[in-house]
Structure 1
Amino acid sequence: MGKRLWVERNKDGSWDAYSDEGAHIKFGKGKGQFNPGDLMKIALAGCGALSSQFAIENSLGEGKGARIVVDGTYDPDDDAYLNFTEQVDVDATDAHLSQEDADKLEERIRRHIAKACTVEHTYEHETPVRLSVKVRH
């Protein structure tokens, strides 16, 4: 099983998410807060960023990365996202790549994301969720 995660409600109505390794993020439905749908998009973008990091740094140098923008089509009738669009932008202007090298880097990025992005793999499959509710009294 993976890393244990949990969320807790704050008095102001926002929520905090925690991991047993010490990670933390605040979310909610208020202005300036990420909502759960936003977190889904962040998970996809973050997975693409981490999956592509090796290919980009290998070609452009340590510390280089991509800007990844994710958008989605939301269906209010089903309260679900129908699809996501992920745009990976790499600024390689300082590297002065030839068109051939830029094309090779693009292909490497695509392969790395296709191979290593667990979030994308999960979103592409129907993923059952088993819900358990316990009320302490």
Structure 2
Amino acid sequence: MSKRLWVEKNKDGSWDAFSDDGAHIKFGHDRGQFSPGDLMKIALAGCAALSSEFAIEHALGEGHGAKVVVDGTYDADNDSYINFNEQVMIDATDASLSEEDVDKLKKRVKAHIEKGCTVMHTYEQETPVRMDIEVRR
């Protein structure tokens, strides 16, 4: 069973997203707020970060992780993103890795992300969305 999520509008025009297990994030279109498009990119970056965590900690030690930067090309005519560019940056400056170790780490991180990132898998295919609208009276 999937986690139930919902959003509610605030009096100031911002929105709050909630989950059954207590997670919360504020979003909207004002300065200092993430837009829904931003949240799509955050989901992709977060998925890569979590998917790569084991491989990075195995190579560099507990507490290490990647900084993942995502941008995308927005198509205004179709109001959609046509691609995303993801950069996974790993700080291994204190690890004294050889070139061979660096290559192995890159391959391992890529394999973990490609295997375990549900968001990337979803974005790479056509994903239908079914919408129901209910008006309570």
Please state which band the TM-score falls in when normalised by the shorter chain: over 0.9
What residue ranges of structure 2 are gaps of 5+ in the alignment? none
SS of the residue aligned with 1:93? coil
Which residue is 2:83 aligned to?
83
Partner of 1:32: 32
The CA distance in 2 between the partners of 1:103 and 1:2, in whole Å, is 37
Aligned partner of residue 31 in structure 1, secondary structure: coil
Q: After the TM superposition, which segments of 4 or more aligned residues of structure 1 sit over 4 Å from their partners?
A: none
Aligned equivalent of 2:105: 105
Give TM-score scaled by structure 2 length.
0.99
Q: Distance in 2 between matches of 1:120 and 1:61?
A: 26
Q: Distance in 2 between matches of 1:82 and 1:11?
A: 33
Distance 2:89 2:31 in 1: 28
Q: Hey, what does 1:43 align to over in structure 2?
A: 43
1:126 maps to amino acid: E
Question: What is the TM-score with the length of structure 1 in the denominator?
Answer: 0.99
Q: Distance in 2 between matches of 1:104 and 1:50?
A: 19
- Listed as ranges, the gaps of 5+ residues in structure 1 are none
Partner of 1:68: 68
Letter in structure 1 aligned against 2:73: T
User: 2: distance between equivalents of 1:35 and 1:87?
Assistant: 21
Provide the rounded CA distance (Å) in 1 between the counterparts of 2:136 and 2:6.
Answer: 17
Percent identity, please. Answer: 72
What is the CA distance between 1:50 and its match in structure 2? 0.2
Q: 1:100, 1:91 → 2: CA distance? A: 16
| Structure 2 equivalent of residue 136 of structure 1 | 136
SS at match of 2:82: strand
Give the CA deviation at 1:123.
Answer: 0.0
Counterpart of 2:27 in structure 1: which amino acid? F
Q: What is aligned with 2:54?
A: 54
The whole-number CA distance in structure 2 between the counterparts of 1:19 and 1:78 is 30
User: Partner amino acid for 1:129?
Assistant: V
3-state secondary structure, aligned to 2:67: strand
2:5 counterpart residue number: 5
* CA displacement, residues 7-44 of structure 1 (integer Å, 9 cap, x when unaligned): 00000000000000000000000011000000000000
CA RMSD of aligned residues (A): 0.4
Deviations 1:25-71 (A, max 9, x none): 00000011000000000000000000000000000000000000000
